[in-house]
Homo-oligomer: A and B are copies of this chain.
Amino acid sequence: MICVIIRAQLGACMTLKLGIIGAGRIGRVHADTLTTRVAGATVWAIADIHAPSAQAAASEFGIPAHTDDPAALFELPELDAIAICSSTDTHTHFIKMAARAGKHIFCEKPIAHDLAEIDAALATVAAAGVQLQIGFNRRFDANHIRLKRAIDNGEIGAPQLLHIISRDPAPPPIEYIAVSGGLMMDMMIHDFDMCRFLLGEVVEVFAMGDCMVDPAIGADGDIDTAKVMLRFENGVIGSIENSRQAVYGYDQRVEVFGSQGAASSGNRHANAVTISDGGSVRRDLPMNFFMDRYRDSYAAEMAAFVAAIANDQPVPVNGDDGRAPVVMAKAGLRSLRENRPVRLAEIDGAKA
């Protein structure tokens, strides 16, 4: 005798239904993750203003519905939540629409470049009583979690110094940079978030930066290489290094030094094989980019979002966590322009 379980019935009562807006690179990462690696969630629909992208993603990931009209998602009563993976300039618009439609929201970073715009979106979210999680996926990475645990458990005593290295294997397309807000807003924003995740609030920033990788980036008014120094509320002195191009791959390391020791993270490699030959003792390059390096963290952040909504608990990275790094990026940009340390209070009247 064979017993057949009607899975659809079981599933109906236990699964969070999501709609995804944006079927570009990061939208597809979340679609893949949600369909294969996150229990308790299903992607019910995907929208992209470029219809073929929506259709292709729907087909590839087995998503039942697709559309070229993102607004259509907000009208689907089945949807519990919306994941906003479209370009930054659309984020607050969709956040507000989703909030008004009573959908919980996952939104990619940064929320927006303008603080007033962010504040308006956050107010709408608050008024609607829905939850908003921001896509700072690195908080869910095993290395960074271990560092935080070392700090929180007192394994290194009182933190005193922080150094973050964050280098991409290659610059994004110039067109992307033109709208992304530049290095501080689209790349270092992750490191600003990491500062807060590990050690709390920052009060002052000093930045040096330049265009060393590609003159086209500089022609666009942006930098591609930067170092930033930060003073934390708790006295820690930090620094961040960014480069748009590390020829050896994605370089993601953090070191926290404290009164009783230091905790340092190394890069992750696809294998742990060492080759010794007549020339050197060598290993293969680290994982090439965030799709490999942070693959597990994307699954973990979505699992955390789904669990928070399902259990009616606060999401682990909320709207304020999305706003604060934008303030830091703005301070960094002003420091670059004026060649002086800039206090966050200068940027953020609210905190002044």
Q: Chain A residues in contact with chain B, CB under 8 A?
A: 1-5, 7, 10-11, 36-37, 45, 55, 58-59, 62-67, 69, 72, 76, 142-143, 145-147, 150, 155-158, 160-161, 163, 165, 167, 206, 208-210, 212-213, 225-227, 229, 231, 235, 237-239, 241, 243, 245-248, 251, 257, 259-268, 270-286, 339-341
Contact = CB atoms under 8 A, between A and B. Distances in A.
Contacts of A265: 271-274
Q: In the complex, which of the residues A1, A206, A262, A286 has the most CB atoms of chain B within 10 Å of its own CB atom?
A: A262
A210 B229 contact: no
A200 to B, nearest CB: 16
Copies in the complex: 4
Contact of A285 (B7, B231, B280, B341): B280
Given A4-B64, A72-B2, A271-B146, A248 B262 contact: yes
A58 B272 CA distance: 36
Nearest to A255: B165
A99 to B, nearest CB: 21
A44 B285 CA distance: 40
A76 to B, nearest CB: 7
Contacts of A210: 235, 237
Contacts of A262: 246, 248, 251, 275-277
Nearest to A161: B241
Contact of A273 (B64, B246, B264, B339): B264
A285 B276 contact: yes
Contacts of A285: 276, 278-281
A160 B225 contact: yes
A350 to B, nearest CB: 24
B5 A63 contact: yes
Nearest to A278: B247
Contacts of A76: 2
